[in-house]
Amino acid sequence: EFQDKWQRAKLAFATVSSDYKRAEEILQNVFKMLDSDYGFEIVQFNFEYL
């Protein structure tokens, strides 16, 4: 999808937990960290829980 553009990247993060709230908290923290600390422009994000 972004292989022809050096300015873009597609990142994926995963966590495993028996507690839905804890998994959600971890993924939200990753999102907040990338959004604020590293200056990324997040164009799209998806959370998926199985």
- For 1-50, the pLDDT digits (tens) are 566 777 777 888 899 999 999 999 999 998 888 888 676 778 888 888 88
pTM: 0.68
* pLDDT value at residue 2: 60
Number of residues that make up the chain? 50
Domain boundaries, the chain: 1-50
Q: Which residue has the tokens 């959004």?
A: 35
Which token pair is 29? 């923290």
* pLDDT value at residue 3: 66
CA distances from 12 to 9, 47, 48 (A): 10, 10, 11
* pLDDT value at residue 16: 92
User: Alpha-carbon dihedral of residues 35, 39, 43, 46, nearest 10 degrees?
Assistant: -30
* pLDDT value at residue 23: 92
User: Do 35 and 43 form a contact (C-beta atoms < 8 A)?
Assistant: no
